[in-house]
A and B are shown apart, each in its own frame.
Chain A
Amino acid sequence: MVRVTHWLTVIAFFALLITGMEIVISHPRFYWGEVGNVMTQPAFTIPIPSSRGSVPTGYKFVMPDENGWSRYLHFEAAWLLVLTGLVYALYSVGTGHFRRNLAPARGERSWRDYRDVLLRTLRRERPDASEAHSYNAVQRATYLLVIFGLIPFVIWTGLAMSPAFTAAMPWTVEALGGRQTARTLHFFVSWALVLFVVVHVTMISMAGFRSRMRAMVTGRAAAREDA
């Protein structure tokens, strides 16, 4: 179940990332606070052409408008992410996956443990065989941050942009400091998740891409990693 939900999340993540970028292109300006538009000062802009002629980007080029299908797919993939996350959470609480595999392991809770893992990784030491079957201290902390921090926050900041959702639950946007702040934070958290995915895939490559992929697809990990 952990593996099935992992791969469903991968599908949802890439659908959300690509469509999210398409939507940003229609207004590549970001603001703090409640409101923001081309008549107000942006906090920052992304130096790309826009898919809307009404946005002053400095480029004399208007990109094609892909927002229609992008928005349909963005919200459908968001549902896939949320529902998959619920199944994963229920399953993980029920089977003790969180407690057993993700909560910091006994005897691995000091700063030294985290530092040692980082040093071993930087020296590009091969992980020892035990790590094929369990996560080290840094992995556990990172996965917990993503599962209980970044993903819930990206969903929250997304919902805080919904006019009907914020009508029903105004505090979801007021607590963030406004609709445009929610949008800007949504953008930042998305990049934090991209950073996680890049590091995650890099680490897998260092540990042996094919064997790790086989493990995540089939559920079986070889004791010796030379595939």
Chain B
Amino acid sequence: MNPLTRRRFMTAGIAATAGVAGVAVADRLARRYGLLPPDDGGIYGPGETLTYAAQRVLGRHALAREFPRSMISASPFLNPVAPPTDAFKHSQANGFADWRLAVDGMVAHPGSFSLADLKAMTARSQITEVACEEGWSYIAEWIGTPLSEVLRESGVHPQARYVAYFSIEHDWWDSMDMGDALHPQTLLTWGMNDGDLPVGFGGPLRMRVPRQLGYKNVKYITRLTVTDSMKGIHDGTGSAAAGGGYAWYAGI
């Protein structure tokens, strides 16, 4: 066995000090530049933080891949959801004429938008892939109003960091950072493949976040909350998916 010489001891000491100092500096930098996800604690916190921070450093403004029209899936998979609530069925019976998207939280003009209001704003369409965390995927054309347009109309406060979005369905909501919320491909989607967005695919209004996996694309959106912290919203985890043990950031 090698004796613990003075040199080895000092080398180990310097390495340990450098390691601790490095983690402390990384933590401060991550905090300053908003690189910590809401689920940065616990045993999986380090991995999640590394993933989220790396993606934000690597390509904050990168665009999700778009595909030619010929690659649109002929029969996209319709992921089944729970039977709709009475509130949804009531609105559906009215042709969604009374569907409202409420915007509250850190905005200058809290209020709400009808589907007609949203469609009157700048529309954008994109042909992107929906990829489920389970492994399957399909490509479709998505038509909608960029979330950034709705946020601009509502006057988002500069200290806002997240947008939480809620489904009409009970206990179905999620959130994203401003990087994804202001991203040009993040759409409040009301059209699909040149028609109205079918109910099965989230119609009348679905959040489409193509740089993240399918489960962030919550269906039947009725409310947005702009905030600087997820702590005050529900259990503070940043999404209903966290209840099932799923990561908040799904861009991996």
Enumerate chain B residues within 8 angstroms of A29, measured Cβ to Cβ: 135-136
Max chain B Cβ within 10 angstroms of own Cβ: one of A35, A38, A72, A73: A35
CA distance A34 to B246 in the complex (A): 25
Q: Does A7 lie at the interface of the complex (its beta carbon under 8 Å from any beta carbon of B)?
A: no
Q: Interface residue tally of chain B, by bracket?
A: 35 or more
B192 shortest CB reach to chain A, Å: 15
CA distance A173 to B62 in the complex (A): 15
B46, B59, B134, B251: which contacts A26 (Cβ < 8 A)?
Answer: B134
Enumerate chain A residues within 8 angstroms of B133, measured Cβ to Cβ: 23, 26, 67, 71
CA distance A78 to B47 in the complex (A): 8
Q: Does A202 lie at the interface of the complex (its beta carbon under 8 Å from any beta carbon of B)?
A: no
- The stretch of B76-84, B97-105, B146-154, B227-235 that contacts the partner chain: B76-84
Known: A34-B71, A165-B55. A75 touches B136 (CB 8 A): no
Enumerate chain A residues within 8 angstroms of B80, measured Cβ to Cβ: 54
Please report whether the interface of chain B is mostly helix, strand, loop or mixed according to DSSP.
loop
Q: Are A164 and B134 in contact (CB under 8 A)?
A: no
Known: A167-B63, A168-B59. A34 touches B139 (CB 8 A): yes
Q: Are A73 and B129 in contact (CB under 8 A)?
A: no
Q: Give B137's nearest chain A residue, CB to CB.
A: A35
Q: Does B3 lie at the interface of the complex (its beta carbon under 8 Å from any beta carbon of A)?
A: no
Enumerate chain B residues within 8 angstroms of A167, measured Cβ to Cβ: 59, 62-65, 210-211
Max chain A Cβ within 10 angstroms of own Cβ: one of B62, B64, B245, B252: B252
Q: Are B58 and A37 in contact (CB under 8 A)?
A: no
CA distance A222 to B71 in the complex (A): 62
B65, B132, B136, B247: which contacts A72 (Cβ < 8 A)?
Answer: B247
Enumerate chain B residues within 8 angstroms of A163, measured Cβ to Cβ: 64, 129, 131, 210-213, 250-252
User: Which residues in window 59-89 of B have CB below 8 A to A?
Assistant: 59, 62-65, 67, 71, 73, 75-77, 79-80
Q: Are B75 and A39 in contact (CB under 8 A)?
A: yes
Q: Does A27 lie at the interface of the complex (its beta carbon under 8 Å from any beta carbon of B)?
A: yes
Q: Does B244 lie at the interface of the complex (its beta carbon under 8 Å from any beta carbon of A)?
A: yes
User: Which residues in window 64-120 of A have CB below 8 A to B?
Assistant: 65, 67-69, 71-73, 75-79
A82 shortest CB reach to chain B, Å: 9
Q: Are A37 and B136 in contact (CB under 8 A)?
A: yes
CA distance A39 to B133 in the complex (A): 17
Q: Are B138 and A24 in contact (CB under 8 A)?
A: no
Known: A69-B245, A162-B251, A167-B62. A76 touches B135 (CB 8 A): no
Q: Interface residue tally of chain A, by bracket?
A: 35 or more
CA distance A183 to B136 in the complex (A): 10
Q: Does B44 lie at the interface of the complex (its beta carbon under 8 Å from any beta carbon of A)?
A: yes
Enumerate chain A residues within 8 angstroms of B135, measured Cβ to Cβ: 23-24, 26-27, 29, 183
Q: Does B50 lie at the interface of the complex (its beta carbon under 8 Å from any beta carbon of A)?
A: yes
Q: Does A170 lie at the interface of the complex (its beta carbon under 8 Å from any beta carbon of B)?
A: yes
B61 shortest CB reach to chain A, Å: 9
Max chain A Cβ within 10 angstroms of own Cβ: one of B51, B73, B77, B134: B134
CA distance A26 to B65 in the complex (A): 25
Q: Does B169 lie at the interface of the complex (its beta carbon under 8 Å from any beta carbon of A)?
A: no
Enumerate chain A residues within 8 angstroms of B136, measured Cβ to Cβ: 27, 29, 36-38
Enumerate chain A residues within 8 angstroms of B137, measured Cβ to Cβ: 34-37, 179-180
Enumerate chain B residues within 8 angstroms of A5, measured Cβ to Cβ: none
Enumerate chain B residues within 8 angstroms of A65, measured Cβ to Cβ: 244
Q: Give A168's nearest chain B residue, CB to CB.
A: B59
Q: Are A39 and B134 in contact (CB under 8 A)?
A: no
Max chain B Cβ within 10 angstroms of own Cβ: one of A35, A67, A164, A173: A164
A-B contact pairs, 28 of them (CB 8 A): A24-B135, A27-B132, A35-B71, A36-B137, A39-B76, A67-B134, A67-B246, A68-B246, A68-B247, A72-B44, A72-B48, A75-B48, A76-B46, A76-B48, A77-B47, A79-B50, A162-B55, A163-B211, A163-B251, A164-B58, A164-B211, A165-B58, A166-B65, A167-B63, A167-B211, A169-B59, A173-B65, A179-B129
Apart from A68-B245, A69-B245, A167-B59, 9 more pairs, CB < 8 Å = A26-B134, A27-B136, A35-B138, A35-B139, A37-B136, A38-B77, A165-B58, A166-B65, A183-B135
The 8 residue pairs across chains A and B that have the minimum distance between CB atoms: A68-B245, A76-B47, A168-B59, A164-B251, A37-B77, A37-B136, A72-B44, A27-B135
